[in-house]
Amino acid sequence: MKELLTAQEAADLLHLHVKRVQILARAGRLPASRVGRKWLFPRGQLMAMLGGAGRLPAVREPEVEISARNQLRGRVTAITVGGVMAEVRIQIGDHELVSVITRASAERMHLAVGDDVLAVIKSTEVMVGKR
C-alpha cells in the first residue's frame, strides 16, 4: 500500500473535494508536504486522524466563495410571496434592501423572517444567499 497519497487520493479517502483537501493542507489543518506543485499526504497520519469514526473531526466549512465583491450581511424583515416571485426585504444596518427572487428559490432556501442572509449585488441584480 502507498505510504504517500496524492491530493486526489487523500480527497477520496477523506470523502472531500480535492480543492478542499488542498485548502486544508495549505492552512496546516491536514498533514502534507508540498513537492513542486503537488501536495503529498502521509496515509498513516490521515488514517490516524480518521480514527475509529471513519471520518475527519468536524471542520468548519468556509463561507460561500463567489466572484461578486458587493456582499452585504443582513436579516430578513419581510417576505411577500405572489405567483412565481417573492419580494424579500433585508435589513442591513440602518438600511433596507429589497430583492425580488423566484418563489422557488425562496422556498428552496426555506427563507423566513429573521434569517441571517447574504445579499450579493452584481450589476443591477441583487441575489440572496443563506447558510
DSSP letter for 41, please. E
DSSP category for residue 123:
T
| Domain ranges, residue 17 | 4-53
- Taken in order 70, 25, 40, 6, the sign of the CA dihedral is negative
Q: What is the DSSP letter of 53?
A: G
Residue 63 within any structural domain of the chain: no
Same domain, 85 and 39: no
Rg (CA), the chain: 21
Q: Strand pairing partners for 75?
A: 91, 116
Residue pair 130/107 in contact by the 8 Å Cβ criterion = no
For residues 123-130, average pLDDT: 76
Give pLDDT tens digits for 24-77.
Answer: 898 888 999 988 889 999 988 888 887 644 445 444 444 556 666 677 889 999
Q: Are residues 37 and 81 in the same domain?
A: no
- The torsion angles phi and psi of 30, rounded to 5 degrees, stand at -125, 140
Beta strands in 18-115 (DSSP E): 33-35, 38-42, 70-82, 85-92, 95-102
% of the chain exceeding 90 in pLDDT: 38
Instruction: Note the pLDDT of residue 89.
Output: 96
Q: In this model, does residue 100 exceed pLDDT 90?
A: yes
Secondary structure (3-state) at 102: strand
CATH number at residue 27: 1.10.10
65 occurs within a structural domain: no
**What are the cell numbers at 77?**
424583515
